[in-house]
Chains A and B, each alone.
Chain A
Amino acid sequence: MGITLHDLQIYWWLLVSIIGALFVFMTFVQGGQTLLYTLGKTEDERDLLVNSLGRKWELTFTSLVMFGGALFAAFPLFYAVSFGGAYYVWMAILFCFIIQAVAYEYRKKPDNLYGERFYEVLLYINGSVGIFLIGVALGTLFSGGNFVVNSMHLSHWTKESYGLEALLNPFNLAFGLMLVFLSRVQGALYFLNGVDEPTITQRIKAVVKRNFLIFLPIFLYVVATILFAKGYVYNPTTKVVSIESMKFLHLFLDLPLLLVVLLVGVLTLLYGIYIALFKESKKAIFFTGVGTVLTVVIVLLALGVDNSVYYPSLVDMQSSLTIENSSGSYYTLSVMSVVSLLVPIVLGYIVAVWRSMDKTKLTINEIKSDPHHY
């Protein structure tokens, strides 16, 4: 029994899902960026928060780049159809990340032309608009886009709004808001773990509570919509795409393992919130983090298994993308699979490095004594 193309496609969809999930977890950086003035009441406090995030922001940024790279290599048709079609949405997302990359380094520098506040606004835009739009874009994987793919596999978008029309769909909006509030909860929990200033930590609890209470109903709405609304499937023999009611509910009942992991993910996330709010634990971020990763992996993975369509076309259903009709060739996916053996090594050194770097928590004094800080 050799490895089939379909196996490779599943493997790569799983990898893309994992990278996507790690990215969503890592957006605690963006969430944190929107809390600078909520949690930091003095300049020193805000500097501390910025520096705490400033040591991690590049990892989040790199995860996003990696997410794009993996999609390009493994599912080039998605890259072509979505990026080249939902043009304005992706461009807006990119602008939100371009401005983040300079903001940390330039914010405190003398002669930075626009002033400290300007760069803080850039961080805020990245944390709010950037994450919201990524959520909207992820939402369209369920709700669909307005594209047509021709027989030569070349594609075009049928709406002049080039992706912005996704903002009219309540499900997409909810998906975006869900990510924003999740990232804020995680950002606050990250500070709880990484920052050692009592004045800040005492404010965190209320922030976690408030943002979680907004997150929860949106999350339930998104989950309910995914489970109970119609979904798109394709016939593995004829490749014809059709609509199935309660597609994803059926999927989870057919594949109980996914359902179990999903539930474990959600419960772990909730447990993290619980120990932060009621047990005074500083380790909550690790639970919400693991919970987020497991939940998002399953949500994304569901789009690639059980004959799901992962990017439905709203104007020409047969143009819809599946992991089968949009992937790289057998050879490329095999080569890339060998390369993917590096993933555990990369994750390993990242964890090892940060364990030694984060042994002591960050304080205002440390930042003041270090000439290189943000």
Chain B
Amino acid sequence: MEHSALLVDWSRAQFALTALYHWLFVPLTLGLTFIVAIMETIYVKTGDEKWKTITKYWMGLLAINFAIGLATGIIMEFEFGTNWSNYSWIVGDIFGAPLAIEGLMAFFMESTFFAVMFFGWNKVSKKMHLTSTWLVAIGSNLSALWILLANGWMQHPVGMYFNPDTARNEMQDFSAIFFNPNGVSKFLHTISSGYVLASLFVIGISAWYLLKKRDLQFARRSMLVAASFGLITSLFMLTTGDEAAHQVALTQPMKLAAMEGLYRGEDRAGIVAIGLLDTTKEIGDEVEPFVFSFEIPGALSFLGYHNLNAFVPGLDDLVYGNKKHNIMSVKEKMVEGKKAITALGEYKQYKKAGDMPHAMAALKLFEANEKYMGYGYLKDPKDAVPSVALSFYSFHTMVGLGTWFILLFILVLYFTMTNEMHNKKWLLYASLFTLPFGYVAQEAGWITAEVGRQPWAIQDMLPVGMATSNVATTSVMITFWLFAILFTGLLIAEVKIMLKQIKIGPEGE
């Protein structure tokens, strides 16, 4: 059941829209829950009421963010059904489980203890309250665990087999899915990026107070917690980012090549630190990919394979094949894939007719070509290549900003500890203006991960064109615009409310 390109594009656009909106709010929740838990722990340990004020203030901002995170989140789960119903059947046997576990393990924990955190100050003991705050942080990060394991599985499907009778993939090994290196590294990298964003958030807003010369003690203390937390977690983010890139190299070479704009594979491949892509460049032609570029030699080989001399395949190698490095061309994979699809159809027909000998022969043929079944749905070998421009620029934006964040945390932490921060106007402004870039980096990371794996919904197995629901394109267009209007309307309200709360400040109404 092949869908029209227009339907697929609108379905993707809607998923991208809702995911990008949802992702504006989730990282802050992931990190700020921990930051307020740390702050409250200091309050409980020291008994200093000032720390309680600090904790409650940041909790207030957290609540505003949390609400819209929930609003934009509920749709994500159901969209797999509404817009990706073929996907829901073909891989639902594996993909549904982490989503259900997420609900059971994480969401109830979050929502129950969230209420205690906000309304329980005078209703439960100090210790019980602190425990609840920590449980909210753990709960929200647990939910990230399950959803990112699910996402990691889409990037690198493991632990399942294709059942020809049900025409779907069925789970075979839950622990393989749980320990999927792609999922684990994705989880760690994503949550640490959330911690970094939350630190930038606290630092940026505190910087504003210092610039306004108000709530000085509050701002300094908040900054100290956030800069320490930010520095530690940003180093963790760097390490996990390295591991995530390594996993991409091993399992999604096409994505890595697109992220780096690498067309022709090479030994000792370099990383383009800064570069401008030539927009006329096409797969397989002789045009130089970059108008200008500054390259760090050997870095990509090292990043991808932890070996300075390793061969990194380029897009041309991956599309047209490379005998020397034993890379099969997309065309060959498409031929095998089409054989598998035909054989599967025949198997079902023979079986229905009760012709078991023919059915078994078809099954054998299917199994021989099954590995590349997904490629059988592609029309043109070039369809196997994601958008190079989007992948390249978003990846480089993320890495560049991430590097700057680490530097910022070092500076802020140093000057906060030497008690000079309030005099460093340039650094206060830099802190304030970095905050929006924290969000840019988040979205860029998400785009790298999701655009980079196109055209696959499930890497090498299921292209997006096969995964979509069979509904009228106009229906998806209608809901797309409704989401765009509603979420934008809610976002504006959220930002206004947030700014007002910041203006009001920690000392109250």
Contacts and interface: CB of A to CB of B under 8 A. Distances in A.
Contacts of A117: none
10 contacts: A59-B112, A66-B108, A73-B99, A76-B93, A79-B85, A79-B92, A80-B469, A109-B501, A342-B104, A372-B60
Interface in A137-193: 150-157, 160, 162
Interface in A81-106: 81-85, 87-88, 90-91, 94-95, 97-102, 104-106
Contacts of A79: 80-81, 85, 88, 92, 96
Interface in B88-127: 88-89, 92-97, 99-105, 107-116, 118-124
Interface in B476-494: 479, 482, 486, 490, 492-494
A83 B220 CA distance: 50
Contact of A102 (B68, B83, B470): B68
Contacts of B504: 110
A112 interface: yes
A370 to B, nearest CB: 7
A101 B68 CA distance: 7
A69 B100 contact: yes
Interface of B: 1, 56, 59-60, 63-64, 66-68, 70-72, 74-75, 77-78, 80-86, 88-89, 92-97, 99-105, 107-116, 118-124, 128, 163, 166-168, 170-172, 174, 348, 352, 469-472, 475, 479, 482, 486, 490, 492-494, 496-497, 499-501, 504, 508-509
The 3 lowest CB-CB distance pairs between A and B, nearest first, are A84-B85, A83-B81, A76-B92
A87 B82 contact: yes
Contacts of A151: 167, 348, 352
Contact of A101 (B71, B89, B101, B122): B71
A157 B122 CA distance: 53
Interface of A: 55-56, 58-59, 61-62, 64-66, 68-70, 72-74, 76-77, 79-85, 87-88, 90-91, 94-95, 97-102, 104-106, 109-114, 150-157, 160, 162, 328-329, 331-332, 335-336, 339-340, 342-343, 346, 349-350, 353-354, 356-357, 359-360, 370-373
Given A82-B81, A335-B97, A372-B119, A101 B493 contact: no
B102 A90 contact: no
A94 B18 CA distance: 13
B171 A72 contact: no
Given A59-B112, A98-B74, A154-B1, A69 B103 contact: yes
A248 B426 CA distance: 75
Nearest to B500: A111
Contact of A329 (B64, B88, B163, B508): B163
A349 B60 CA distance: 25
Contacts of A339: 97, 100-101, 104
* SS class, residues of chain A in contact with chain B: helix
Contact of B497 (A88, A109, A331): A109
A343 B105 CA distance: 9
A99 to B, nearest CB: 7
B74 A61 contact: yes
A242 to B, nearest CB: 20
Contacts of A114: 493
A198 B497 CA distance: 34
Contacts of A331: 170-172, 174
Given A346-B104, A370-B122, A87 B475 contact: yes
Contacts of A91: 82, 479, 482
A84 B470 contact: yes
B116 A83 contact: no
Given A102-B494, A153-B167, A357 B123 contact: yes
Most buried by B among A84, A97, A114: A84
Contacts of B121: 370
Given A83-B85, A153-B89, A357 B124 contact: yes
A84 B83 contact: yes
Contacts of B100: 66, 69-70, 72-74, 336, 339
Nearest to B344: A152
B70 A61 contact: yes
A356 B472 contact: no
Contacts of B64: 105-106, 109
A109 B107 contact: no
Nearest to A157: B471
B378 to A, nearest CB: 18
A328 B482 contact: no
Contact of A162 (B56, B60, B170, B475): B475
A365 to B, nearest CB: 12
Contacts of A162: 471-472, 475
B99 A69 contact: yes
Contact of A154 (B72, B77, B89, B103): B89
Contact of A113 (B102, B104, B493): B493
B503 to A, nearest CB: 9
Contacts of B101: 69, 73, 336, 339
A102 B21 CA distance: 14
A331 B166 CA distance: 14
A94 B483 CA distance: 11
A153 B120 CA distance: 49
A62 B107 contact: yes
A84 B81 contact: yes
B109 to A, nearest CB: 8
B132 to A, nearest CB: 8
Contacts of A342: 104-105
Contacts of B112: 59, 349-350, 353-354
A359 B97 CA distance: 37
B82 A72 contact: no
A113 B409 CA distance: 34
B57 to A, nearest CB: 10
Given A55-B115, A104-B67, A339-B101, A72 B123 contact: no
Given A73-B99, A153-B89, 9 more contacts: A69-B77, A91-B82, A94-B74, A101-B67, A154-B89, A332-B97, A346-B109, A357-B115, A360-B123
Contact of B111 (A61, A80, A105): A61
Contact of B174 (A150, A335, A346): A335
Contacts of B120: 357
